[in-house]
Amino acid sequence: MTPDVIGVFIPIVAIVFGISAGMLSTWNEHKRRSQLLDQAHRERMVALEKGLPMPELPPNLVTGKSEDADPRNASLRALRFGLMMLGIGIVLYFALGRITHEDVALFGLIPAVIGVANLVYAGLLSRRERAGPGAG
């Protein structure tokens, strides 16, 4: 294979694997929720047969929101995402600076700026959470 052919296959393979990963993730989430719903249904049917009170459905099963969607964890998620993006941006800046010239390396600072913005957001959220529910 020539380098030109390999150069054409790289983006095709990346796109196919990227879409496949997204489809697999969606399918796994659907199967997990389907199994949880089936289990909750079986529990409720057994409770009906035995004359016991009906168990509650898990709220995340009905709404489709995960446990991470809890607004109390928003500042922690923003902090984690901000630190991650800041780290990626710094590493990308130095990696691109080593491989190419300084002008291209500046593009590595874009994720770093997004990370800093998320860190500021996390700080504001945590300050508001400490101030109490009436602040805001």
| Amino acid present at 4 | D
Mind listing the pLDDT tens digit for each residue in 20-59? 999 999 999 899 888 988 998 899 899 999 998 887 877 7
- pTM: predicted TM-score of the whole model, two decimal places: 0.51
Mind listing the pLDDT tens digit for each residue in 61-79? 766 666 555 666 788 888 9
Q: What's the rounded Cα separation, in Å, for the pair 41 and 114?
A: 44
- Residue 112 Cα to chain centre, angstroms: 18
DSSP-H helix ranges across 1-136: 3-50, 59-63, 74-99, 102-105, 109-131
- Residue 55 Cα to chain centre, angstroms: 30
**End-to-end alpha-carbon separation of the chain, Å?**
61
